[in-house]
Chains A and B, each alone.
Chain A
Amino acid sequence: MGLFILRRTGVMILTALCLTFIVFVLTNLYPNLEKLAKTQGNFRMSDEAVASWLDKNGYIAPMPVKYGQWLGVVPGWTDTDDEGKVTGRCIAGAVTAEEAAKAPSLCGIIQGDWGQSTRFKKGVSEIVAERLGNTGFLMMWVLIVMIPAALTIGILAGMREGSAMDRSLSTVSILTTATPEYVSGVIFIAVFTSSTVGLKWFKGTATSAMENPTFENFTLPVITIALYGMGYIARMTRASTTEVMTAQYIRTARLKGVSFHNIVLKHALRNALIAPFTVIMLQIPWLLNGVVIVETLFNYKGFGWVLVEAASNNDIDLLLAVSVVSVVVVLLTQLISDIGYVYLNPRIRIS
């Protein structure tokens, strides 16, 4: 088991390295750097001005060197201007040469320095930590709503295959998987918040939910994400429940005279929940997509909003941090689902 986790961690680090390198290469293509220079300097910069700005800010070095600087295995760039002031990756602002000599030469993510955001003019780790908190809160509520609802629907539908209950609940779960967040979100906003329909039960934006989440401003974002993910989990739960309900030991329990109620709750439930556990864990990275859409739609400034801001402004350090976080989420959930599967299902042992 220890070796298995160790190997998976190795794969995880390798994947994260490859992935960040791809992001790094794409964000460091010259047209992207040119755009960055123009948004940071001014939009009417000439080509020479762009080149000198990029040179001054350490963007001209070869790709592997720059990637090494970001990782923290190659010394960070420094640049001395005409007045002898030194700027550099590891130096905050422009300082004199003596002060620059005191600054550490290596500063990358290995040293715990995630760099500076060009969009927000703040440290990347600070931004990501703050925004992840917001999204974590959103995700927590999504999971609290989604998992019990999906499992209940799946088990109710699967316990009597082909019944009226099964057919209507299965239709509902197909309908929710067919409704992407931007469709259900728009429909919810139209029905529950607009003055045309006139219900006005909820608020159409969740901006105020960042400080003060209430039922009124937080319900729609949570429901919108939960609904899309719910259908898939419910269908998987239904499939696994129908399979368990045809098992031999359920038939034995029935013949023994156990009530249907007890069969479902005491005999079938625990075995029926093994497969959905894996599905739920693997669904979490998918929720990240929904988070980006919903945060844009409801103007909730979380991790997804940072992703959109960083990507549309070519904020290299921030984008890299965002991809590291998301790849860690993806691979960590995979790892948990594998370990949990073994733990829940004693028939499988990792050899």
Chain B
Amino acid sequence: MEPLTWTGSLAFLNPILQILLLLLAVAILLWLAASILLPETTAKTNADGTMSLSAGPRGLATAAVNFTFMGAAGVAALYLVLGVFMGPAAGITGAISQQLAPVWISLILVFAASIAFKRRLGLYGKLYDSPIGMIGFALVMFWVFTGVYGALDLIVTHDPLSQVSGMKNKVPGTPMRGAEEGDYQWYLLGGDNLARDVFSRLVKGAWVVVQIAPLAAMFSFMVGITLGLPAGYYGGRLDTLLSFLANLILAFPVILLFYLLVTPEIVAAGVPNYMATVLFIFPIIFIGVLLNSRYYTRPKLRNPLLTCVLGLAIWIYLSLVSTGGYLVEAPTYKIPGLPAFADLFDIPGGILVVFVSVVFVNAPTVFRIVRGLAMDIKTRDYVAAAQTRGEGPWYIMLWEILPNARGPLIVDFCLRIGYTTILLGTLGFFGLGLPPESPDWGSTINDGRKLLSIYLHPALPPAFALLTLVLGLNLLADGLREESLKD
């Protein structure tokens, strides 16, 4: 097998792309210079009473940026589209593009369906009016699909943990030594310092993030909302106490907190299990209060509903916090939990610790945001109207204040997922929590950085992956903010 080049038989496109990128850079510079130096384009009234914008040099510069950008993006897309059909013949990009084919198909389906029905989809549909939001959403969904299909073994080319002799630190596109019939023939993005496939680890790393980050952000929100609403609504002593606790956690440097919570000794002492037991109660309280405050006037509906929902939630909660029949299993003592036969699933210790500490770090910030919003909204007329109607405080908090605070909260939710991704990377970077062979991006960056001055390929792909995912989430949040401000 020949080693692959980056673009293979599509190499004739390279000079075209280079020229277009150069032109794009020049056009952007001209565009910026024009926007500073030249006067703004003015509307002029024509003789027949119509108005037109004068097409000055500024308009020309804008058009130049648009055309060169479209050209460059078009050529780049060509690499990917041709790559899907040509596969390794179109070099490394082609081969990767072919591996990612299910992701492209899903993305196209999601976008086509959403654009077709965008008027009926509420805030999500409005996202498709903002180019920034669309780019952000595309980046996020790209990684979500990559993670999910990677977990289903559709994309990965090799086992992310197996080491192949002779592939240590090999450059991207190296044919696999001793590949058998049916094996994928190349290491697409090269091998790392333990001779594992960088591409497959990258894809598996996306799954780690997609699994943990949104869920951790959601739990932080539930904790933050359950505590922030009463603090903002009631104020007084409760507010002082909760705010003090939140500020206390926020005064910790995040990394010190991680070192204190995530080391194996603390895990052995069972501290994360205690924290999980406490933190995971909040979603149950949240759901219970949410439903009860709405339906307590209709006991016939409420009683079966609450029994079912809370029963299920408590079962999931107990399965979540107990492992092998125990809530906490320290060497010296044990606290019994749900017996093993009723346990739905076990969370591996490493993941639970990481999850709990990320929720613990994020919840106080959400608390402060929700508290601020609640303090602002509780002075509105509709809250006064609900109070006059005789609604209970929890009904007002959860069904009057919370829905009206959703705009900023949705935006912050996107940003928080991004921040959680960064925190997960930080944990991996310091080698905390997840097992050392774990393919998550932070650990991979940490492994790769030691040989960075000689071999770039093990560290750079996860770095760019993390960058694009967080950038996508930030752009998505920006798009959502813009669109939600419009109405």
Interface residues of A in 276-321 (CB under 8 A from B): 285, 288-289, 292-293, 296-297, 304, 307-308, 311-312, 314, 319
- Residues of B within 8 Å of A196, CB to CB, are 454-456
Q: Which residue of B lies closest to A30 (CB)?
A: B269
Q: Are A168 and B32 in contact (CB under 8 A)?
A: yes
Interface residues of A in 237-293 (CB under 8 A from B): 285, 288-289, 292-293
Q: How far is the CA of A179 from the CA of B445 in the complex (A)?
A: 14
Q: Are A182 and B251 in contact (CB under 8 A)?
A: no
Interface residues of B in 242-279 (CB under 8 A from A): 244, 247-248, 250-256, 259-261, 263, 265-266, 268-269, 271
Annotate A303-341 by CB proximity to B: 1 below 8 A, 0 otherwise. Answer: 010011001101000010011001100110000000000
In the assembled complex, A350 has its CB within 8 A of some CB on chain B: no
Given contacts A15-B247, A307-B255, A326-B256, contact A186 B452 (CB under 8 A): yes
- Residues of A within 8 Å of B429, CB to CB, are 182, 293, 296
Considering only CB atoms and an 8 Å cut-off, how many residues of chain B contact the other chain? 55
Q: Are A194 and B456 in contact (CB under 8 A)?
A: yes
Q: Which residue of B lies closest to A164 (CB)?
A: B35
Interface residues of B in 420-464 (CB under 8 A from A): 422, 425-426, 429-430, 442, 445-446, 448-449, 452-456, 459-460, 463-464
Considering only CB atoms and an 8 Å cut-off, how many residues of chain A contact the other chain? 56
Task: For the complex formed, measure the closest distance between the CB of B42 and the CB atoms of chain A, giving whole angstroms.
Answer: 15
Q: Are A31 and B248 in contact (CB under 8 A)?
A: no
In the assembled complex, A189 has its CB within 8 A of some CB on chain B: yes
Contact of A178 among B332, B418, B454 (CB under 8 A): B418
- Residues of B within 8 Å of A177, CB to CB, are 474
Given contacts A26-B260, A194-B454, A204-B453, contact A187 B251 (CB under 8 A): no
- Residues of B within 8 Å of A314, CB to CB, are 263, 265
- Residues of B within 8 Å of A179, CB to CB, are 467, 470-471
Which of B247, B260, B269, B478 counts the most A-chain CB atoms under 10 A from its CB? B260
Q: How far is the CA of A19 from the CA of B463 in the complex (A)?
A: 34
Interface residues of A in 155-204 (CB under 8 A from B): 163-165, 168, 174-175, 177-180, 182-183, 186-187, 189-190, 193-197, 204
Q: Are A307 and B256 in contact (CB under 8 A)?
A: yes
Q: Are B453 and A194 in contact (CB under 8 A)?
A: yes
- Residues of A within 8 Å of B268, CB to CB, are 31
19 further A-B contacts with Cβ under 8 Å, apart from A186-B449, A327-B252, are: A26-B260, A26-B271, A31-B268, A32-B266, A168-B28, A175-B471, A178-B470, A178-B471, A183-B445, A186-B463, A194-B453, A289-B426, A293-B426, A304-B255, A307-B256, A311-B256, A311-B260, A323-B256, A326-B252
Name A's B-contacting residues (CB within 8 A).
Answer: 11, 14-15, 18-19, 23, 26-27, 29-32, 34-35, 163-165, 168, 174-175, 177-180, 182-183, 186-187, 189-190, 193-197, 204, 285, 288-289, 292-293, 296-297, 304, 307-308, 311-312, 314, 319, 322-323, 326-327, 330-331
A-B contact pairs, 6 of them (CB 8 A): A23-B260, A29-B265, A179-B471, A190-B456, A311-B263, A323-B256
Name B's A-contacting residues (CB within 8 A).
Answer: 28, 31-32, 34-36, 62, 244, 247-248, 250-256, 259-261, 263, 265-266, 268-269, 271, 332, 418, 422, 425-426, 429-430, 442, 445-446, 448-449, 452-456, 459-460, 463-464, 466-467, 470-471, 473-475, 478
